[in-house]
Amino acid sequence: CAVIEYLHQKVDEQIQLDLKTKKFTNYKHFDTVRGVFTEGGPAFDGAGIQKKNHIQICIRNLNCIKGFFIPRKESKFP
């Protein structure tokens, strides 16, 4: 999280500097960020995936969220 926030802070600083000095910028803000994390060793011999692979998604621009759902409670079968 800290690395991603630092990166976006630096991009924002560069955008502001460009706009102030050149009146335009080639840099853009990111709406979303995805990070892939691998850990835990191979899932099995020769595997290209790890036991504890996971992906984290950060939505930086909340206008990108078009909807969401609330999971229902688990029902019990009779």
In this predicted structure, what is the pLDDT of residue 2? 84
Q: How far apart are CA 59 and CA 48, in angstroms?
A: 28
In this predicted structure, what is the pLDDT of residue 68? 87
- Residue 75: Cβ within 10 Å count: 6
In this predicted structure, what is the pLDDT of residue 78? 67
In this predicted structure, what is the pLDDT of residue 35? 87
Q: Number of helices (H) and strands (E), helices first, in the chain?
A: 1, 2
Write out the chain's pLDDT in tens, 78 residues: 788 889 999 999 999 999 999 999 999 999 999 988 888 889 899 888 899 888 888 888 999 999 988 888 887 876
